[in-house]
Amino acid sequence: MRITPIVAAALLVLPLAACADDGSGSGSGPINVGSVSTLSGPVTFPEASQAAKAVFDDVNAAGGVNGHKIAYTAADDKGDPASAALAARDVIQNKKAVALAGGASLVDCQVNGPLYDRNKITDVRGVGVDPGCFTSPNISPVNTGPFFGSTVTLYYASETLKISKICAFFTIIGSTANAYREGVERWSKITGKKLLINDLSLSAATTDYTPYVLRARGAGCQAVLFNGVEPMSIGWVKAAQAQKINNIKWLFLASTYTAEASKALGPAGKNVVALSEFEPYTDTASQANKDWRATMTKHNVPLTAFAQGGYLAAQHLVTVLKGIKGDITREAVTKAMKDLKPLESGMTGLPFAFGSGKSHASNLAAKFVQPDAKGGWTVLTPDWVKLPNA
């Protein structure tokens, strides 16, 4: 997926007012569930909501939840703040959703977090992308996300790989600079270590990475964390290849963990390590992924990490819905989420949590993978790498 300057501008979200709506609940009808995702535009995340729908369809085929079918609405925010606001209001006010689940959006959390709080509706986010996904009392992502993912990746490099000279170069889109800065500070607080370089000057418009890889080599960096999405990471490695830089380990976030990236990187992938927020989706032998893989295959949903997030979000919401006694209303679901005891899953290193806190980031663990010679990925860490005290 490619982030353009247009998309970068969309991430400069605006504060939006909202009217409260308390939801009509299930009563004798269906249980209305929604999501707001980026389904059209230059960068899309369709697999997350597709995976959530697959889970809900299977639940409905088995009789629903306490006899009620789940009616799922996946709204498209087009990666645009104004469209995101309209999409969320439609799901909440017109579709009368009692909860949100399985969303994956460039802008939704930042734009609509206050709306969800005001309407007292909870969102089990399939893929948290923007900083608002991890700073809202009513949103809890199932994934690690790019900001905590940066912390885990740096922790893996310094504490497991024992690399002492680590550098970072961050592409900053919208209001993400502080979140990435906090991710680095979190690592420093845990380890007592500092980065050799912490460059937050790159933008989505940056396409020539040669000056940055040369700076990394000149500074003596042994490993470099770069947060670019798949085509950016490929461009980064190609720039290093052109400069004959082959003694630095390139550390990438989850957006680079794709089949396409491994094929494009080729032999240069030997210097690449990427983060997996969930049980590595390319591990066909994994028992933790068995039901996810079967469900996605049955419903023709692409096998991607985004699909893992949507699947997990839907599974967790179904667990909560089945535990509610009486009518399944928005109020009942929100109370159940706020009272929720952490939910275990073999697909994540730590249990999913919601609770009554002002912010939520329960998935503070990851596994790490490396491109192989066949265009696939090799799992480097059979055990989860978890942040201390997580």
Nearest alpha carbon to residue 148 among 180, 102, 170: 180
Q: pLDDT, tens digit, for every residue of 160-194?
A: 999 999 999 999 998 899 999 999 999 999 999 99
**For residue 374, what pLDDT band results from cuts at 50, 70 and 90?**
confident
Q: Do 169 and 206 meet the contact criterion of CB atoms below 8 Å apart? A: no
In this prediction, residue 12 has a pLDDT band, given cuts at 50, 70 and 90, of very low
DSSP annotation of 273 reads: E
The vertex-209 CA angle with 206 and 215, nearest 5°, equals 125
Give me the pLDDT at residue 4, please: 36
Token pair in block for residue 141: 């992502």
Q: Which residues pair with 249 in a beta bridge?
A: 223
13: closest CA among 91, 114, 103?
114
Q: For 322-332, what is each residue's pLDDT tens digit?
A: 999 999 999 99
What would the 3-class secondary structure string for 108-120 be?
HHHHHHHHHHHCC
Nearest to 204 by CA among 243, 184, 177: 177
Dihedral, 23, 26, 30, 36 alpha carbons, nearest 10:
30
Structure tokens at 343: 């939910």
Mean pLDDT score, 16-24: 42
Residue 23 has pLDDT above 80, yes or no: no
Residue 389: band (very low, low, confident or very high) from pLDDT cuts 50, 70, 90: confident
Sheet containing 70-76: which strands, arranged edge to edge?
70-76, 31-37, 99-101, 123-125, 139-141
pLDDT for 25 equals: 54
Q: What are 311-347's pLDDT values in tens digits?
A: 999 999 999 999 999 999 999 999 999 999 999 999 9
Question: What is the phi/psi pair of residue 173, to 5°?
Answer: -120, 125
Exposure string over 126-141, b if 16+ CB within 10 A, otherwise e: bbbbbbbbbbbbbbbb
For the beta carbon of residue 339, count every other beta carbon within 10 angstroms: 12
SS3 369: strand
| Three-class HEC string of 278-319 | CCCCCCCCCCCCHHHHHHHHHCCCCCCHHHHHHHHHHHHHHH
The partner residues of 34 in beta bridges, in order of sequence, read 73, 100
Exposed/middle/buried for residue 167 (C-beta within 10 Å: 0-12, 13-18, 19+): buried
pLDDT at site 174: 87
Domains and CATH numbers, the chain: 5-144+286-359 (3.40.50.2300), 146-276+366-386 (3.40.50.2300)
Question: Distances in Å between the alpha carbon of 140 and those of 102, 152, 163?
Answer: 11, 18, 32
pTM of the model: 0.92
Give the bridge partners for 285, in sequence order.
none
